[in-house]
Amino acid sequence: MKISVLIIAHNEEKYIAECIESILNQTKHPDEIVLLAHNCADRTLKIARGFPITVAPFDGIKGIINARLEGLNRVSGDIILCIDGDSFAQNNWIEVMTDLLSRNNNVLVGSWVKFKGAILGELYNMYSRHLRVSGKRQTAFWMWGSSLGFWGKDKQFVQETIKNSPLLSKKINLPSSLEDYWLAMFMRRRGNIEVTNKTYITTSTKDVSSLEMISREMTDRKSKRLINNYFERIKD
């Protein structure tokens, strides 16, 4: 079974080497690693080309959604795992994610996302890992675009969902597209979705202050409630 890892990067010269090395040093090795470098104006491409992976420059329409769509066009695995270029994976990430996907009729899986940087990020790490273990929040809430896995046969559906997320967000007046949450909610209608804390990825908070993190968290929570309400209205 072919395993593909898709890395999405935009001006990640500070982090991209660590990201790629974390994928190359996994306990279970992927068959394909594709880095989609979208509209990079720094040394991301130069650094990435020093590794034994496929590097795909993309200078199309800006934005993470267009980058994800183009990146998915470049991978061909039976299992597709996604990570962002400012993140790095624990060395058992591929092993745990692929094993999880093969269980319980799962169609979408994710992992704990650990934040590195702001003080608030460390507090959030403790909070989020506890809630994942205790199951006090619905699984979709914890799905992040920076750590996703799904079957290759569902790639077209994933692309269509991501592509349509801005229109759906506009329809219910969301401040951002939240394509990963839309994807989780739609995939939940196709089968089971599951998030694990048996592995994790670490993502940088970069230059974001604690106040900015709080503001983003509040905005995301409000947006996710609106998306939940949308699915309640269209429930069969």
pLDDT, tens digit, for every residue of 172-214?
A: 988 777 899 999 999 999 999 999 988 889 987 665 565 666 6
Six-digit token pair at 137? 């929040």
Residue count of the chain: 236
State the DSSP H helix or E strand holding residue 101, giving kind and residue range, or none if neither: helix 93-101
**Confidence label for 18 from pLDDT (cuts 50, 70 and 90):** very high
In the predicted model, what is the mean pLDDT of residues 139-165? 93
In the predicted model, what is the mean pLDDT of residues 55-78? 94
pLDDT, averaged across the chain: 87
**Confidence label for 52 from pLDDT (cuts 50, 70 and 90):** very high
Q: Is the CB of residue 63 less than 8 Å from the CB of residue 35?
A: no
Strand, helix or coil for residue 44: helix
Helix axes 179-187, 210-234, angle to 10 degrees: 30
DSSP 228: H
Instruction: Specify the pLDDT at position 17.
Output: 98
**CATH assignment at residue 174:** 3.90.550.10
CA distance 161 to 157: 6
Six-digit token pair at 19? 């990201």
Six-digit token pair at 133? 């273990």
Q: Is the CB of residue 110 less than 8 Å from the CB of residue 192?
A: no
Number of CB atoms found within 10 A of residue 190's CB: 13
Listed residue (128, 147, 140) closest to 89, CA to CA: 147
Instruction: Tell whether the model's pLDDT for residue 216 goes beyond 80.
Output: no
In the predicted model, what is the mean pLDDT of residues 159-184? 90
In the predicted model, what is the mean pLDDT of residues 112-141? 60
* pTM assigned to the model: 0.90
**Confidence label for 134 from pLDDT (cuts 50, 70 and 90):** very low
Instruction: Tell whether the model's pLDDT for residue 71 goes beyond 50.
Output: yes
Instruction: Tell whether the model's pLDDT for residue 170 goes beyond 70.
Output: yes
Instruction: Specify the pLDDT at position 55.
Output: 98
Find residue 151's DSSP bridge partners. 79
Instruction: Tell whether the model's pLDDT for residue 218 goes beyond 90.
Output: no
Percent of the chain at pLDDT exceeding 70: 85
Range of the domain at 124: 3-234
In the predicted model, what is the mean pLDDT of residues 12-25? 97
As to burial, measured by CB atoms within 10 angstroms (0-12 exposed, 13-18 middle, 19+ buried), residue 87 is buried
In the predicted model, what is the mean pLDDT of residues 82-106? 96
Six-digit token pair at 235? 């429930």
Instruction: Specify the pLDDT at position 16.
Output: 97
Number of domains in the chain: 1
**Confidence label for 123 from pLDDT (cuts 50, 70 and 90):** low
Instruction: Specify the pLDDT at position 86.
Output: 94
